Structure 1
Amino acid sequence: MTEIEQARAWSPRVISKFETLIRSGDDQALYRVNPLAFARDRAIAEPEAIDLFLHAARCGLFDMSWDVLCPQSGMVLESFGALRTLQTHYVCGLCDVSGDTDLDDFIEVSFSVVSPHLRRLPFNEPQTLSVENFHWKLRFGNDGRLPGQDVRFLDVLRGFVRGMTFLPPGTTTMLRADLDPGSLSGVNVQTQAAFAVPISGDPVLAPTLLKINYDGKRFLPALPAVPPGPVVIEVANTGPDRGALLLINWPPELVALTTKPALDFDPYVSGGALLARQTFRQLFRSERVDEKEGLGIRQVTFLFTDLKGSTAMYERLGDLNAYALVREHFALLNAAVHQHSGAVVKTIGDAVMAVFSRPSDAISAALHIFEEIDRFNGDNVRPGIVLKMGAHCGPSIAVTLNDNLDYFGQTVNVAARVQSLAEAGQVCISEALYSAPGVSDLLAGRGVVAFDAPLRGVEGDATVYRIMRG
């Protein structure tokens, strides 16, 4: 706790609230902690809460995991302890869906107490959990709600459940249930192995015997369908490991859905948002994206800056003095970007490439940078710094280049091109960024001039907006 407290200047009582969570929170509260929920419940700024848990993970107090969520059920399908092992292709046996998710879609970064000397969490030892806690508390999040409603998906799902059990290896497990028309499905929530058989025909009074073989990878039911009414299910686990089975009786109206809607979730720290945070990049420099393939991001904003007249400045001041001025300008940009929840990806000569998860943060940072440049120039007798900036938002791919987390794709290229259109002391932004949520509010009252310009990779001329100072 002392190490965390000394890591940076925290707001009053932040450390105290954090310590209270560790000392007094129940087991569930300390497992897969959502920093944004922690911030909301304790009146703490979200960026500060995220940084708090990042520092806690860096010093070994908490574990940080990248959790892949099923969009339709909220089940935690897989958890990865490192970015390089993260896979964005998901399979959910419960929903019978699969697909690819981007880093900012249904990949949640959460934090769990890791040290058994501090708090021994039963969730860190799944083999000790009851069958109920193994399913409902270990594998599911609590906040997934039906679209547009305040109804938790788990509350709906529980009404369809007809049984749950562990499947010890080398044994046959029996379950009894009463089935309504629709479909009977079963899933091992740990491996996503699943089966489904229709429930159709005339109701019966005598129990139907349904035998299922589970080999550790697949469930193989012996019947193609079962009638409504009582059923006895015998599951033989011929695999080497303990399995689990969650039985669901889906009603006909849900079986008939060809596309299952995505749930509504409370805000959480997405993988894409974390990559765009300066604190993460500073504390976890060893994190890498798999070199063979990048990780998709649906929406990210890039801000490019360039030092105007740097060649003349080097000639006028000499290399040593000019380099010192450039370093001060880098420090100023780093601080402004960090303050607005962004990260500096790299420097390219005298230029900076920064990234932001939210478009409005990039605009706030750009406006703040101009204010800081004016203040800096006013405080120094040396020749002033003159910047020009450009920004654009869109999809991208997170990659590892030269041992650094970087980005690749057309959005990066367009952002650099937009920056080249800016004149000294100006920032230019693309139409996509100008129309992004929250941006127009930030620019209200400022002079904004639209003009058309060719952008590489964009057919025809594109509309670019020049934001005037003042």
Structure 2
Amino acid sequence: MPLPIFEYKWTWDLKTPPEKLWHLVSDTNRFDRDSGLPPIKYLEKDENEFQNYRMPLEIIVFGIKLKYIQEPFEWTFPKRFSVVRNYSSGPVKQLKVIADLIPKGTGTFLEYKVWATPKDILGVAAIPFQIGVLSKINFDKIFRRYDKIAFENEEIFEQKAKVEFVKGGRKRLKSLEEVLAKRLKNPKIVEVLTNVLTNSDEIFASKIQPYFIAAKWELNKKEVLEACLEATRIGLLDFQWNLLCPSCKGAKQSKLSLYEIDKEVHCDACNIDFEANFENSVEITFKPNQLIRKVKENEYCVGGPHLTPHFIAQNLLQPNEEIEISPILEKGRYRIRTLTTKGFKLINSDPVAELESTFELTEEGWSSGENLISTYPKMKFKNSTKTEQLFILERAAWKDYSTTAMEVFLLQKFKDLFSDEVLKPEMHVSVGNLTILFTDLVQSTRMYYEIGDAPAFGKVLTHFEILKKAIDANNGAIVKTIGDAVMATFARPIQAVDALIMADEKLEESGLKLKAGIHSGHCLAVTLNEKIDYFGSTVNIAARLVNFSEGDDVVVSKEVSEDIEVSNWLKKTHHQTKDLSTEIKGFDNQFELLKIEL
């Protein structure tokens, strides 16, 4: 006799519209934790068997190991998500969930459906009580709580959680809070960080993102990041380096030191290998120091919409299958791709564009060109290949609250506090495009001879301090000093120019002059002399440009002079300039340079 399939449907009338409720309801990791489910355990995965985000997992409930294969989550923002789990052990054979968020007036009609297929008589007995009774009660509390939080424009992490401090942790927190307050100019940042450490739950506290805190409390991003670094130095926080998959953005490794990170990383979910890249794939996050509060970094659900908020839709299609979705898009560029095929289809979303469009993947790939679609489109995905495909609709340009390693390296505060953070000796990692500034003090040797060693050395130290303040004020960092020369890095050319102008004004008061060169381009990070350093053609060219400077001027490469911000600055300020066409030692080609009088 076949066992019955238990079907449950629960509905709620909620005050909050779907767009505002989605980030809470679709956060399946937090929802499963709030529902009382135990943490998951990853099982060994055969890459050929588990494709398209299928994951072999295990949880332990009442001492019973439940092993299951989780099918890929499917969703359309902000309307629906679903998942299927097929169990190989325990009393349940299959569990299927579909959640629909339907607009109703100014709120949401939430429909949550569960299908539970038992494997044996134990499952027949357990499902009606465990799911039919307990889950119904828990889900009602959770969804109404989420609705209240979203409706009142609050954040989930602002809700006071049950926090367990280690013995003496509260006293240590209070003491270090006072130390941090003395080091920071903005007391609001100290207040916010203390609140996060005291009240936030483990999910938030285990991965504190400075830029998220800055955005939420309307604080300066750089100041919050520097505050977190200061807090780490004094023992209030710890930091960790997370290696992010370029496809799904999930953290595939978390290390306490740069020295521990691997250059090559594998993402099980996407089944791809990728290299650590400080510009995009390595981020820094923070958590409470273990002497204050221990947080368990557990996962309760993987693969849900919360992990990839830049994915607007994700749908699994079998060969020759098609599906129609109606997502809500912002104006801008998107792309459609699948997980196992190369290439993608670009689309542009605009309120006045066409409402209906079909996007077909064939054995030859995607059609060429860029489609224009509405911000409230009806989109048809069609799989005309011979294999299963996981269709993904994602924002083409997307930046979350991650703080990349490159952004951290460009902070003078990081250089000052954590100069011991280095890579493995044999490792070199891309940091993307950087602007490199080299300076040299004019006639420093003569100065030592004319005024004596001690006074001259004092002037050199003053010159270093002036440069350091100017570089830091313009979001750069000193990499190293060589004699009385300085090498510094910036994210943008105009920052290097502004720093040099600021320093030159102060140095002029001391009767000192600088020679300087600036170049922008791709760089690699390495460990040299037990510190993070940079090498490559960009660095070599920047170092050579100083030789063409005479003092009270800066020689910049074409890449710098043609930068839009630098070009606009030159037009507005009317600095005297001189074109130079010359060879640079070590390079065969002719370089077009620009000398700018300061």
Residues 385, 75 of structure 1: alpha-carbon distance in 2 compared, 3 angstrom cutoff: same
Residue 458 (structure 1) shift = 4.1
Q: Which residue of 16, 29, 39 corresponds with 2:204?
A: 29
Q: Which residue of 555, 560, 573 corresponds with 1:433?
A: 560
Residue 425 (structure 1) shift = 0.4
Deviation readout 1:131-180 (Å, 9 max, x if unpaired): x2x5559xx7454x14xxxx3xxxx34x55xxxxxxxxxxxxxxxxxx85
1:94 aligns with 2:223: no
Aligned residues: 360
Residues 452, 22 of structure 1: alpha-carbon distance in 2 compared, 3 angstrom cutoff: same
Residue 352 (structure 1) shift = 0.9
Residues 122, 262 of structure 1: alpha-carbon distance in 2 compared, 3 angstrom cutoff: farther
Q: Which residue of 303, 307, 311 corresponds with 2:445?
A: 311
The answer to whether the Cα contact below 8 Å between 1:5 and 1:15 also exists between their aligned partners in 2 is: yes
Q: Which residue of 518, 530, 533 corresponds with 1:406?
A: 533
Q: Which residue of 153, 157, 179 corresponds with 1:3?
A: 179
Higher mean C-alpha displacement, 452-461 vs 39-48: 452-461
What is the CA–CA distance in structure 2 between the aligned matches of 1:252 and 1:68, rounded to whole Å?
Answer: 32
- The letter for the 2-side match of 1:86 is I
| Residue of structure 2 in register with 1:244 after alignment | none
| Residue of structure 1 in register with 2:281 after alignment | 106
| Residue of structure 1 in register with 2:415 after alignment | 281
| Residue of structure 2 in register with 1:468 after alignment | 597
Residue 455 (structure 1) shift = 2.3
Residue 303 (structure 1) shift = 0.7
Deviation readout 1:32-82 (Å, 9 max, x if unpaired): 222122212222222111101111222232221111111111111111211
The answer to whether the Cα contact below 8 Å between 2:436 and 2:539 also exists between their aligned partners in 1 is: yes
Q: Which is higher, the Rg of structure 1 or of structure 2?
A: 2
Residue 386 (structure 1) shift = 1.0
Highest relative contact order (Cα 8 Å, sep 6+), 1 or 2? 1
1:291 aligns with 2:425: yes
1:41 aligns with 2:216: yes
What is the CA–CA distance in structure 1 between the aligned matches of 2:570 and 2:186, rounded to whole Å?
Answer: 29
- The letter for the 2-side match of 1:411 is T
Deviation readout 1:398-449 (Å, 9 max, x if unpaired): 1222222211221111001112111210111111123345333444423243
What is the CA–CA distance in structure 2 between the aligned matches of 1:256 and 1:454, rounded to whole Å?
Answer: 52
More strand by share: 2
Q: TM-score, normalised by structure 2?
A: 0.55
Residues 365, 141 of structure 1: alpha-carbon distance in 2 compared, 3 angstrom cutoff: farther
- The letter for the 1-side match of 2:446 is A
Residues 299, 314 of structure 1: alpha-carbon distance in 2 compared, 3 angstrom cutoff: same
**CA RMSD in angstroms, aligned pairs only:** 3.0
- The letter for the 1-side match of 2:489 is V
Q: Which residue of 458, 463, 470 corresponds with 1:329?
A: 463
Residue 305 (structure 1) shift = 0.7
| Residue of structure 1 in register with 2:248 after alignment | 73
What is the CA–CA distance in structure 1 between the aligned matches of 2:499 and 2:547, rounded to whole Å?
Answer: 18
Q: Which runs of 5+ in 2 are unaligned?
A: 1-176, 322-338, 342-380
Q: How does 1:4-403 map to 2 (within 5 A)?
A: 4-7=180-183, 9-115=184-290, 117-118=292-293, 120-123=294-297, 126=298, 129-130=299-300, 132=301, 136=304, 141=307, 143=309, 145-146=310-311, 151=312, 156-157=313-314, 160=316, 180-181=318-319, 252=383, 255=389, 264-374=398-508, 376-377=509-510, 384-403=511-530
Q: Secondary structure at the match of 2:572?
A: coil
Residues 316, 419 of structure 1: alpha-carbon distance in 2 compared, 3 angstrom cutoff: same
The answer to whether the Cα contact below 8 Å between 2:318 and 2:383 also exists between their aligned partners in 1 is: no
- The letter for the 2-side match of 1:6 is K
Residues 28, 457 of structure 1: alpha-carbon distance in 2 compared, 3 angstrom cutoff: farther
What is the CA–CA distance in structure 1 between the aligned matches of 2:505 and 2:249, rounded to whole Å?
Answer: 43
Q: Secondary structure at the match of 2:403?
A: coil
The answer to whether the Cα contact below 8 Å between 2:236 and 2:292 also exists between their aligned partners in 1 is: no
Q: Which runs of 5+ in 1 are unaligned?
A: 161-178, 184-195, 199-249, 378-383
Residue 261 (structure 1) shift = 9.2
Q: Secondary structure at the match of 1:385?
A: coil
Q: TM-score, normalised by structure 1?
A: 0.69
Q: Secondary structure at the match of 1:334?
A: helix
| Residue of structure 2 in register with 1:454 after alignment | 583
What is the CA–CA distance in structure 2 between the aligned matches of 1:397 and 1:33, rounded to whole Å?
Answer: 28
Identity, % of aligned positions: 26
